[in-house]
Chain A
Amino acid sequence: MLPIYLTPQAIQLYGSTIVYLIQTGKLVGAEIAHAIRSIFRKHDPDLTDEQLDAIAHAIQDRAEVREALSLAEAGGAQ
């Protein structure tokens, strides 16, 4: 992959564009995280395997917490 590095000015421009789109309701839900992530993805080199495993581990933890909450709410419907 050929990394594309954005200048701080470009990041600011895209950042303020995203904020504007959120404020005007043009960017909603998961699109927001996706758009923000895309900026930093361009600015940083590829993630290492260790970093990816750490992210996956964090997902695992978040899912575990939510699973417990869901089971508590499910009550007799489990």
Chain B
Amino acid sequence: MKLRITFALIAITLLVATGCGSLPAKERAVTSLAATQSSLEVLQDAERRTCNPVAFDADATKPILTCEGALATTLQLTTAKHQAFASSMAKAYSLQRRAAIALQSWHPGQPAPAELVGLQSQAQDLLTFLNALAANENQKQLIAAGQALLTEIQKVIAAVKG
């Protein structure tokens, strides 16, 4: 069984690696930016659900204004910290939105859109914030989501610089 899983992982890795390597630069940049958007949303929703699972499960599309519950308490995620995190996320989405606009008129060989470097810096700030939370399993998951985000942004940057 373990051998089959290993084989499947190797097969998928080869698929992904060959696919990414042979795609045109703009396609790699745009598809990676789409993955970046998904990573931003995954990270934000993980934080929002930790902040207030009841409110999040009731309607995830509505703003979560206060942190309540055991999850937030154990992570020392206060309402003030949640607001600071949301503020950082707003900046990241603003850069992401402007990067998406810039990529529409970008062509291979042109300089990388400046928003991407700003987005990378913003993602690093988000990771710093997550690292400052109380260390536990939830924090590890949030950090993993933050690192996945950073990886996706680096893929976009690599695509436009490649």
Residues of A within 8 A of B (CB): 1-2, 4, 14, 17-18, 20-21, 24, 26-27, 29-30, 33-35, 37-39, 41-42, 46-47, 49, 52-53, 55-60, 62-64, 66-67, 69-78
Q: Given the known A-B contacts A29-B145, A77-B83, are A38 and B12 also in contact in the complex, defined by CB atoms under 8 Å?
A: yes
The number of residues on chain B lying at the interface, defined by a beta carbon within 8 Å of a beta carbon of chain A, is 53
- In the complex, chain B residues 29-80 whose Cβ is within 8 Å of any chain A Cβ: 30-31, 33-35, 37-42, 44, 48, 61, 63-65, 80
Q: Is the interface of B mostly helix, strand, loop or mixed?
A: helix
Q: How far is the CA of A26 from the CA of B10 in the complex (A)?
A: 12
Q: How far is the CA of A63 from the CA of B38 in the complex (A)?
A: 10
Check A71–B16 contact: CB distance below 8 A.
Answer: no
A55 (CB) vs chain B CBs: closest residue = B30
Q: Is the interface of A mostly helix, strand, loop or mixed?
A: helix
CB distance from A17 to the nearest CB of B (A): 5
Q: How far is the CA of A37 from the CA of B39 in the complex (A)?
A: 15
CB distance from A43 to the nearest CB of B (A): 11
Which A residues touch B94, using CB under 8 A?
Answer: 63, 67
Check A70–B89 contact: CB distance below 8 A.
Answer: yes
- Interface residue? B19 (CB, 8 A): yes
- Could you write out 15 A-B pairs with CB less than 8 Å apart? A29-B39, A35-B12, A38-B19, A42-B19, A46-B23, A52-B27, A56-B33, A57-B100, A59-B37, A59-B96, A60-B101, A63-B37, A69-B63, A70-B89, A73-B65
